[in-house]
Amino acid sequence: MPTIGVLALQGDVREHARMLQEAGATAVAVRRPAELDAVDALVIPGGESTTMWKLAETFDMLQPLRMRVKEGMPAYGSCAGMIMLADRIEDGIAGQQTIGGIDMVVRRNAFGRQVDSFEEDLDFAGERVHTVFIRAPWVESVGADVEVLGRCEPGDRIVAVRQGPLLATSFHPELTGDTRVHRYFVDMVREL
Ligand code: GLN
């Protein structure tokens, strides 16, 4: 059984941990570099990317996170976590940094300007899943190595992507009863 950490600086950590357990992984909270060293893979939860970034710096986690992603650790980011995995962001706050790893531009609070939150059924990697969006980002553009796994009907925006061992969604599967996105990630971790 893979051990998958949930970055527990801020955000909906418990919900992800529960979904990971249901999907067949051992879930542990990760706050410090030694805890990061001990996991096979990492989930970066939804929450607030600006706060997560500042706490990552305060806890001396930003460089270790960048290093492990660079070394090929599988990671999955939902919503704020998607922002954290983006190489480039739009509409961040002054100086906002990310972990990076996925060659994409993510626009922060993109849907939030239109409507704060909504639910929608959409195709994720060929399966129909129910999704929840909360002040969600969308993916503005992707590089050649990024696979688009899902789009959202209003505007046909990219909302789910994969680049090698990295997965990101604009939405929050951890807030639904549907474990398929987490199962997809756990399968990725097993294969890599
Ligand atoms: N708007 C938040 C951010 O910028 C993301 C919202 C969420 O994770 N639900 O990080």
In 59-149, alpha helices (H): 62-70, 80-85
What separation in Å is there between the alpha carbon of 1 and the centre of ligand 1?
Answer: 30
The CB of 108 under 6 Å from ligand 1? The reply is yes
112 falls in which pLDDT band (50, 70, 90)?
confident
Among residues 76, 90, 97, the alpha carbon closest in space to that of 163 is found at 76
- pLDDT at position 113: 64
Burial classification of residue 124, based on how many CB atoms lie within 10 Å of its CB (0-12 exposed, 13-18 middle, 19 or more buried)? buried
Could you give the domains of the chain?
Answer: 3-191 (3.40.50.880)
Distance CA 79, CA 173 (A): 10
Average pLDDT over residues 92-97: 97
The CB of 2 under 6 Å from ligand 1? The reply is no
Average pLDDT over residues 60-85: 98
Average pLDDT over residues 102-119: 88
- pLDDT at position 7: 98
Distance CA 186, CA 145 (A): 21
Going from the C-alpha of 4 to that of each of 122, 138, 190, the distances in angstroms are 26, 25, 11
